[in-house]
Amino acid sequence: MLKNRERADEILDAVVRLNIETGRPVSSGLVERYLHRAYSAATIRNVMKALEEAGFLEQPHTSAGRRPTDRGFRRHVDGVLKGWPLGREDLPRSVARGVEDGLGRQQGGHAMVKTLAGVLSRVTEGVSIVLGPSWEEVRCQRVELYQQGERRLLMVLVLENAMVRTTVADPGEDVAPRTVEDAARLLSERIAGRTVAEVRDGVLSSFRPGVTAASRFASHLAGRSRDLFLDFEVGELELDGVTQVLGEPELEQPGTLRNLVRFLESPRSIREALQQLDRHAVGGLSVWIGGENPVHDLREFALVMRRFSLDGRDGLLAVLGPRRMPYRRTLSGIDAVCDELNSLS
């Protein structure tokens, strides 16, 4: 039984911090030195034994020190998050400047998503995963039509974020250039200001042919333009920093390494996992430690996640690493990246 909760928390926090730093089980003697001999060696041993009995620490084998369990790491993280962000640590100035410079140079959604992954990995020293905002809510601007010889028409969808989608359609018959031009105008009037999802789910399918050649041709193309609105990715996905964690002691275990590789090699699995975790998230920063994670392949790891905004749409930032990841640095790094993004918007 933990008789003195404050003392137990102090010793548990020391074990967690030392385990994060060394990657090894922690001895009572090391804790004594870390706490500048605030408690006797015998007291520390007794408290560590009580923490083990309470499920906060574990001993890999009899002669080893102790290391935190998922519950022990959770206790530490909850303490770090208490009062957050008022209690967060500022990044070193050189690191903060790297965030500012890295993000400040980029323009446009795709370039920013890729840069975010690189900056976040450098700041946190973990595997960064960035799921960019969905295109579903991007608004359409216009349709452009270009004749490319007989029975071949290039259809171009222009979106508000300066991105374009193209497809090739068969006009079905010879069409006068003026008719093509007017049909493009009619289609553009129909979709302008509508989201990709709205257009895909019915705006164009309800287009009815009128009495003019242009309106009939526009109706014909509306029925063949669905490819422009299909296969929009849930969000652009970027990873960085995988090699930074491969040298961690935990990944010397073949099963642990196999689970990490299996997870990271499937973009679809990553997207589905982040979306699943986002549905379970409460508030801003979310932390899953070991067995807390509903994603089976990640139950030997820790993952920190937060939503971010880009071009007025939400994406997800995540950092993946061993259960003993440097939580305070990771949390502060994610916050700093999001703060810089907000300052650029």
Domain termination residue (choose one: 229, 261, 286)? 229
Residue 77 is assigned to a structural domain of this protein: no
Are 59 and 3 spatial neighbours (Cβ–Cβ below 8 Å)? no
Q: How confident is the model at residue 55, as a pLDDT?
A: 96
What gap in Å lies between CA 66 and CA 25, rounded to an integer? 5
| Mean pLDDT on 316-341 | 92
Q: How confident is the model at residue 269, as a pLDDT?
A: 87
Residue 20 is assigned to a structural domain of this protein: yes
Phi, psi of 117, rounded to the nearest 5 degrees: -60, -45
Dump pLDDT digits (tens) for 145-174.
998 877 788 989 898 866 788 888 888 778
Encoded tokens for 332 = 């502060």
Q: What is the CATH number of the domain that holds 30?
A: 1.10.10.10
Residue 82 is assigned to a structural domain of this protein: no
Q: What is the CATH number of the domain that holds 320?
A: 3.30.450.40
Q: What is the CATH number of the domain that holds 165?
A: 3.30.390.60
Residue 78 is assigned to a structural domain of this protein: no
268 with 203, same domain: the answer is: no
Which residues touch 58 (CB under 8 Å, ≥6 apart)?
52, 66, 67, 68, 69
238 with 303, same domain: the answer is: yes
Q: How confident is the model at residue 294, as a pLDDT?
A: 87
Band (pLDDT 50/70/90 cuts) for residue 75 is very high
Residue 76 is assigned to a structural domain of this protein: no
Domain residue limits at 185: 140-229
Dump pLDDT digits (tens) for 122-148.
999 999 999 988 777 788 999 999 988
Find, among 150, 26, 114, the residue nearest to 76 by Cα. Answer: 26
Q: How confident is the model at residue 230, as a pLDDT?
A: 62
Q: How confident is the model at residue 179, as a pLDDT?
A: 92
Residue 79 is assigned to a structural domain of this protein: no
238 with 219, same domain: the answer is: no
**Higher pLDDT, residue 11 or 294:** 11
**Higher pLDDT, residue 211 or 28:** 28
Tokens 């979106």 sit on residue: 159
Residue 84 is assigned to a structural domain of this protein: no
